[in-house]
Amino acid sequence: MNSPMDQGKPRIALVTGANRGIGREIAYQLALKGLKVLIGSRDENKGRHTVEDMRREGLAVELQVVDVSDTESVRKMTESVKQQYGRLDILVNNAGVLLDHGVSVLDVEEAVIKETFETNYFGALRMIQAAVPLMKEHKYGRIVNLSSGLGAFEVLQGLLGLKGSTSAYRTSKTLLNALTCLVAQDVVDFGIKVNAACPGRVQTDMGRSTTSKSDTEGVPAPVTVVEGADTAVWLATLDEDGPNGGFFRERKPANW
Ligand code: NAP
């Protein structure tokens, strides 16, 4: 792993949606590695609770309120990070919503698609556009996009037998994958790497709310949050010779 310090200063990592679920565990694991971690939370109270819990374990975490679906909120977050730390080394775009589970693409409402894209795609894009200029200043950056195999083309074509269901969520992740490829090409000369991670079906509020065709109702999601966070943490702390512009599950390349 890269050193958690740069010229005597701790590297700063921001994880969106870190107040619960996979994001919380990613933040926790990064803090355990000695990074200073900003707990991104759209709800101040929820974020504060998470920060207090982690501080009780002696971890260097701070609250950063940010709703990624809100341009003004992302702008304020950027100003605050610039003023307080003057740098941002790692961004984990974890915040996500799944609003159309099991709904056919023929029935999904346009408002639901737009709400999903505002967080899962535009939210990640807003955060990347805010973070990259700060990363360029120090010629270092690691960006991780929490994607999903459900947005991969082989799955969209029917591999898991999901047919046209959950289309707003799945296409938002397809777009996030495309974004990963495009950003990778424009940051490569600046010491910045961007990759996408699929955590598997994880035991979180979101993971528990979904079932795939091979599951029976009520079968728990198979992947623990600790396991689900692992690939994202690995990508967030890649060495200089690590990959750029890839999609990974269990630290191995996954199909787009
Ligand atoms: P989760 O338990 O539902 O937690 C989602 C987190 O995102 C919460 O902290 C939530 O905040 C936050 N969030 C939602 N919208 C936001 C917004 N506009 N701005 C800021 N934060 C926002 O989900 P999870 O299972 O941990 O999933 C994390 C990521 O992994 C998501 O991107 C998801 O698509 C991806 N993923 C999950 C699975 C799985 O099986 N769980 C599988 C594949 C991919 P609030 O607490 O305020 O709602």
pTM: 0.97
Tell me which residue of 104, 113, 191, 193 sits closest to 145, measured CA to CA: 193
CA of 97 to the centre of ligand 1 (A): 6
pLDDT confidence of residue 46: 98
Q: Give the mutation target among 43, 97, 235 for probing the ligand 1 site: most ligand atoms within 8 A of CB.
A: 97
Beta strands 247-249 and 252-253: pairing type? antiparallel
Q: Is residue 40 part of a domain?
A: yes
Does residue 87 surpass a pLDDT of 50? yes
Per-residue buried b or exposed e for 137-168, using 16+ beta carbons within 10 Å of the residue's own CB: ebebbbbbbbbbbbbbeebbeeeeebeebbbb
Average of pLDDT values for 153-179?
96
- Which residues are CB-contacts of 172 (< 8 A; sequence separation ≥ 6)? 116, 117, 120, 121, 151
Q: Is the CB of 246 under 6 A from ligand 1?
A: no
Q: Is residue 158 part of a domain?
A: yes
Task: Find where tokens 């979180």 sit.
Answer: 204
pLDDT confidence of residue 51: 98
Q: Give the mutation target among 170, 204, 227 for probing the ligand 1 site: most ligand atoms within 8 A of CB.
A: 204
Q: Is residue 183 part of a domain?
A: yes
Q: Is the CB of 29 under 6 A from ligand 1?
A: no
CA of 94 to the centre of ligand 1 (A): 6
The answer to whether residue 169 is catalytic is: yes
Q: Is the CB of 146 under 6 A from ligand 1?
A: yes
Gap between the Cα atoms of 195 and 185, Å rounded: 11
What is the domain range of residue 23? Answer: 9-253
CA of 205 to the centre of ligand 1 (A): 8
Beta strands 12-15 and 36-41: pairing type? parallel
Q: Is residue 1 part of a domain?
A: no
Confidence of residue 218 (pLDDT cuts 50, 70, 90): low
Q: pLDDT tens for residues 107-165?
A: 999 999 999 999 999 999 999 999 999 999 999 999 999 999 999 999 999 999 999 99
Confidence of residue 212 (pLDDT cuts 50, 70, 90): low
CATH number at residue 171: 3.40.50.720
CA–chain centroid gap for 26, Å, is: 9
Read off the tokens for 188: 């490569």
Structural domains counted in the chain = 1
